[in-house]
Amino acid sequence: MSASGGLAGVLRTFGPAWLASHTLSARASKVWRAIVACRTAALGGHVETCELCGKVRYVYHSCRNRHCPTCQTRAKEAWLRARRQELLPVPYFHLVFTLPHALNDLIGRHSRGLYECLFAAVSETLTEFAANPRHLGGEAAFSLILHTWQQDLGRHVHLHALVAGGALTRDGEWRAPKRGFLFPVKALSKVFRGKFMARLDALRSKDGWRADAQLSGAPWRDLKRTLYVHDWVVYAKQPLGGPAQVLEYLGRYTHRVAISNERIVGVADGKVAFRVRADPESGKKRTLHLSGSAFIDRFFLHLLPNGFKRIRHYGLLAPAHKTRRLEAARRALAVPAPEPAVIESVADFMRRVAGIDWSRCPHCARGHLVVTAVITPQRLQGPLAHGPP
């Protein structure tokens, strides 16, 4: 089995045949072109030369597309450093709200609307439970992160919620949960389902939705019946520890894409081999094999609508009043304000995350690399050159 070259390698290998029978939207074209061009001469870059031994290194620019698995590490680290200023010294809870797979076809046709429904239903549910005097009786602090995939790249739409363990009351007091859990999961599930279905019902009369056959007559009644047969899944994990543990945990979810390059282990006989989560019985990781065409089909299920924010903050973390409300929460908890965030250079980032002195020459290990030339971007050619210039 040959090395895959990651997601970009899969697109280069199977792209020409796939594109011969598929038409990409403008949004998909832009993503495709970015991933294929990432860290290649197509995006330009610069040449670095060691001042002692003369060794040359070519450095190409990243595409920075949020669907590209190559570009997420530094974005994630920068995001987490900003979140460090917002964490409170309380336990945090991780909840997962999942949409039933019976909605998958509808999501394929109306992704933006249904993703917005999901964010609204979950945020309203958590806000109401936190405000209820039986639970916390105040304003919560939580973030929601959208994921749309499962391990085999099939559609599996769910929101990860990271919720601070407590709420700020109107009197300026911090009220912690009375029990070992934040909210009762079964009650959350019923309220979440009700709020989502009410919003979906309202959308059926809007332009662009009325023509959908699944949203009227017998198909709509059948869909509703299916969606109400079972409680919707809300999964609650054990509370997390202090800020360091919360950040480490949160980093696993924030900037994930549908598949990482590390999970793609090879390409052979027209198929892509990729690792999936360990088997629950044996504990061993499994390897799935999909045809190149099926793999690309599944990856493009998970493109986000243009401009769609997949990470959102609510309650005390809502952007409109975050600074003021977090200050009030810290006063209630009697904790000082955090140290100001420091903007980190690329060199400092590499030194901290990978233990690499990026400017040190890897050949002689004594000299430093300096920029000696600029590489101008080169336009992609051929069937893979899709997307705006």
pLDDT in tens, 249-287: 777 778 889 999 999 999 999 999 999 987 666 667 789
Give helix 346-353 / helix 72-83 axis angle, nearest 10°. 90
Would you say residue 389 has pLDDT above 60? no
pLDDT number for residue 339:
67
Average pLDDT, the chain: 88
Distance in angstroms (rounded) separating the CA atoms of residues 362 and 357: 9
* Range scoring the smallest mean pLDDT among 211-220, 254-263, 311-320, 374-383: 374-383
List, in sequence order, every beta strand (DSSP E) within the chain: 45-50, 56-60, 92-98, 141-149, 155-164, 167-168, 174-175, 234-236, 264-268, 271-276, 286-291, 311-315, 369-375
Q: Which structure tokens are listed for 78?
A: 């920068």
DSSP for 112-177, written as a single string: HHHHHHHHHHHHHHHHHHHHSTTTT-SB-EEEEEEEEE-TTS-EEEEEEEEEESSEE-TTS-EE--
Which one is predicted more confidently, 207 or 166? 166
- Give the mean pLDDT of 65-78: 82
- Give the mean pLDDT of 13-22: 94
pLDDT number for residue 237:
81
pLDDT number for residue 8:
94
pLDDT in tens, 180-203: 778 999 999 999 999 999 999 999
pLDDT number for residue 277:
83
Q: Which structure tokens are listed for 70?
A: 């190559």
pLDDT number for residue 385:
53
Q: What element of type H or E holds 191? A: helix 185-203
- Give the mean pLDDT of 237-249: 74
Would you say residue 114 has pLDDT above 70? yes
pLDDT number for residue 317:
95
CA angle 160, 163, 168 (to 5 degrees): 155
pLDDT band at 293 (very low <50, low <70, confident <90, very high): very high
Spell 248-259 as b/e; 16+ CB within 10 A means b.
eebbebbbbbbb
| Sign for the pseudo-dihedral over CA of 135, 137, 141, 143 | positive
pLDDT number for residue 118:
98
Quick one: the chain helix, strand, coil %, rounded to 5?
A: 40, 20, 40
pLDDT in tens, 129-183: 999 999 999 999 999 999 999 999 999 999 999 999 999 999 999 999 987 778 9
Q: How many residues does the chain have?
A: 389
- Give the mean pLDDT of 310-329: 94
Phi and psi, residue 111, nearest 5°: -60, -45
